[in-house]
Amino acid sequence: MTDTATERLVLASSSPRRRVLMTRAGYHFDVVEPPIDEPIAAVRLLTPVQQAEALAYFKARAVSELCPSRRVLGADTVVAAGTRVLGKPADADHAREMLRGVSGTRHAVITGVALLDGDLKRMIAAEVTYVTMRQMTEREIADYVASGEWIGKAGAYAIQETADRFVDAIEGSFTNIVGLPMELVGRMIRQLDRHEDGTAR
């Protein structure tokens, strides 16, 4: 990780989980929350991966316009359960509906990542992790919703908190489920550094 990468980095996210992951990985960064509502309606016809990537780009682009001389990292996580794409629940009833939808399923957690460096340098990618969740009882769903852990979480659960007790198996990146695939982020930053150093084309 170079000084250039750390000194100029801005995390375009309001997620405390992403801030923790970035800090633990050793990055130095500022946080600027995207000044836009997520344009869900504009991306509904896209595939789940395309939706996550598009939303990540919208967030990063909005912050990049405020910080044109900085490197900006944006991310967005969705859950794909069958043909349904689940973002963040709007309220407790919505959270209960989402939990019923993922209970007893093998579903995909998808995080789109966008890394922007000025107007000319742009990288967009996504990480997909599969989660197998055991069947939850209605009492378990009710208790989990009452705990409030679902708030602000794609798919209405947070595996890094107490929802891990509902998970039977994970295939792929654990940090992706938390909210930011750090392996992918590291690769993207290193690749952009190599391009800026002139060592890659």
Q: What is the mean pLDDT of the chain?
A: 88
pLDDT of residue 196: 67
Closest CA to 185 of 134, 138, 125: 125
**Between residues 7 and 134, the one the model is more confident about:** 134
Count of domains for the chain = 1
**Between residues 158 and 43, the one the model is more confident about:** 158
Task: Check which CATH number belongs to the domain holding 54 and give it.
Answer: 3.90.950.10
Q: Do the domain assignments include residue 80?
A: yes
Q: Do the domain assignments include residue 156?
A: yes
How far apart, in whole angstroms, are the C-alpha atoms of residue 154 and residue 157?
Answer: 7
How far apart, in whole angstroms, are the C-alpha atoms of residue 6 and residue 137?
Answer: 45
pTM: 0.86
Note if 76 is an active site residue.
yes
Q: Do the domain assignments include residue 201?
A: no
Q: Do the domain assignments include residue 63?
A: yes
Which two tokens mark 58? Answer: 């919208």
**Tell me: the pLDDT tens digits for 59-113?**
999 999 999 889 999 999 999 987 788 888 999 999 999 999 999 999 999 999 9
Q: Do the domain assignments include residue 96?
A: yes
Q: Do the domain assignments include residue 36?
A: yes
Is the Cα dihedral 77, 81, 87, 88 positive or negative?
A: negative
- Out of 30, 76, 93, 117, pick the active-site residue: 76
pLDDT at 198 over 80: no
**Tell me: the pLDDT tens digits for 30-56?**
999 998 665 566 677 789 999 999 999
Is the Cα dihedral 84, 90, 96, 97 positive or negative?
A: negative
pLDDT of residue 25: 94
Q: Do the domain assignments include residue 54?
A: yes
Residue ranges of alpha helices (H) inside the chain are: 3-7, 16-24, 40-43, 48-66, 92-102, 138-147, 174-178, 182-197
- Which domain, by its residues, includes 137? 3-196
pLDDT at 19 over 80: yes
pLDDT at 4 over 70: no
Backbone angles phi, psi at 84, to 5 degrees: -95, 135
Q: Do the domain assignments include residue 177?
A: yes
- Cα separation of the two ends of the chain: 19
